[in-house]
Amino acid sequence: MGKWKEIYNSKLTSAEEIAKRINSGDVCASTCALGEPLGIVDALAERVLKEDLSDIEHHLLLTLKNNKYLDPQMVGKMKHVAWFTSGYSRKAVNEGRADFMPCYYKDAPKLWREHVEADVFYATVSPMDKHGWFTFGVAASNARAQMSRAKKIFLEVNEFMPRAHGTGIVHISEVDALCENHIPLAELGEAQINEKDKYIAKFIADLIPDGATIQLGIGGMPNAVGQQLLDKKDLGIHSEMFTDGMFQLIEAGVVTNRKKSINKNKAISGFAAGSKKLYEFLDDNPGVEFHSIDYVNDLNVIAQHDNFISVNATVEVDLIGQACSESIGTQQFSGTGGQVDFVRGAGASKGGKSFLTTYSTAKNDTISKITHQLTPGAHVTCSKNDIDYLVTEYGAVQLKGKTASQRAKGLISIAHPKFREELLFEAKKLGLII
């Protein structure tokens, strides 16, 4: 037996034993989405209830499961801190039982290194190799930064976690204890694409040149855009999140990464979530690298790519171009994520463009998503100075380089026809139409 395997065996224990090493008041950090060590976290929630522990914090970006720690009985005992809320954590956050962390995703590693100190770092990893290395698989994100000041480091080894290439690695010598939990990774259901999505995606695809490097965000729309790119050539990928749509573009030969200005021949990402097929594609694939998010989302890295194209969705936009992409009024819906990082990065790229997409209306055409003012309490994600294109099913308008009056007229032209007159009336009242 090799040296590293001996050390592995000496540190191998159960999730329950690891949970016993976590105490009341501990701040526990887990990377994102599929990096969450579900066996340890479940064992911890059980222990918290049984032994009446209190004030434990569990930090994670994007919960993909209805975990025990989200249960109302955990209040005061184990609190979830969401760095981006999902359909599972949203209710707990909006009912005041869980907290959330506002931040630009690019800043998350720095926050862990300088502002939020983890007592415990725990993560799911792919199995150890003969050199003693594990990978954080599809959840490199901010793992190394969270680890940097953690007092205890626990790993959950899962053979279903892809062995990813890139800098998201951890060595057995750095670990306090580990357990094994071989469970299939959660899959995201396939996004249903409707006619409106197709129109929006087509407007965007027409503005993407061959050879461009793309980032596609979270939600149904960015995936629809992927499907409209099948006749493009030599695209590259540099994207915070790696999705099924991207893997399909690579398989179709549309994405080659050959024309990228940096990281040629490789797609670069921070984390992934999607289907089983996607996870199989990413396993030991040198064509896709996962890196810390302060590299992937760094404006200066993004801007080194010529013709960088960023596509993300938004919830609501006012007539001068302030975009709320993370709340419905005061109710937290998701998070800032990397939207602003990529909008700014694309803005700084030579020939770069960023697109925010939205349907023109919500709730069966009763609400216009282009509004004369944002819903009170809406969280502004992109400022009016950052936004470039806004796209609805009625067209794409570029706001960059446009005056307030030109913006208002352009945005009204792609609002739902039913709301255009009212928006024009309000815009005039605000002195926006000149």
- The 3-state DSSP class for residue 109 equals helix
Nearer CB in complex with ligand COA: 105/134: 105
Per CB under 6 A, which region of 36-44, 144-152, 224-232, 331-339 contacts ligand COA? 331-339
Check if the beta carbon of residue 40 is closer than 8 Å to that of residue 150. Answer: no
C-alpha 41: how far from chain center: 21
Question: Does residue 270 touch ligand COA according to CB under 6 A?
Answer: no
Question: Does residue 154 touch ligand COA according to CB under 6 A?
Answer: no
CA 135, CA 171: separation in Å to the nearest integer?
Answer: 9
Give the active site residue among 36, 156, 240, 289. Answer: 240
CA 38, CA 142: separation in Å to the nearest integer?
Answer: 18
Burial label for 133, CB within 10 Å (0-12, 13-18, 19+), is: middle
Per CB under 6 A, which region of 29-37, 68-76, 158-166, 218-226 contacts ligand COA? 218-226
CA 183, CA 185: separation in Å to the nearest integer?
Answer: 6
**Which H helix or E strand runs over 422?**
helix 417-429
Nearer CB in complex with ligand COA: 256/361: 361
For the record, the structure tokens of 6 come out as 């001996």
CB of 46 to ligand COA, least distance (A): 32
Q: Which of 83, 112, 333, 394 binds ligand COA (CB under 6 A)?
A: 333
Check if the beta carbon of residue 308 is closer than 8 Å to that of residue 346. Answer: yes
Check if the beta carbon of residue 30 is closer than 8 Å to that of residue 200. Answer: no
Region 365-394 residues binding ligand COA, contact defined as CB under 6 A: 367, 369
Taking the CB of residue 224, how many other CB atoms lie within 10 A of it?
26
Question: Does residue 63 touch ligand COA according to CB under 6 A?
Answer: no
240 is catalytic: yes
Q: Which of 312, 322, 349, 354 binds ligand COA (CB under 6 A)?
A: 312
CB of 258 to ligand COA, least distance (A): 24
CA 248, 219, 365: angle at the middle one, nearest 5?
130
Q: Which of 362, 380, 430, 433 binds ligand COA (CB under 6 A)?
A: 362
- Write the interaction track for ligand COA spanning residues 234-253; mark x where CB under 6 A is met and - where it is not: ------xx------------
Q: Which of 315, 319, 387, 432 binds ligand COA (CB under 6 A)?
A: 315
Question: Does residue 294 touch ligand COA according to CB under 6 A?
Answer: no
Sign of the alpha-carbon torsion through 105, 108, 111, 116 = positive
Q: Which residues bind ligand COA (CB under 6 A)?
A: 217-221, 240-241, 312-316, 325-326, 328, 333-334, 337-339, 362-363, 367, 369
Task: Enumerate the active-site residues.
Answer: 240
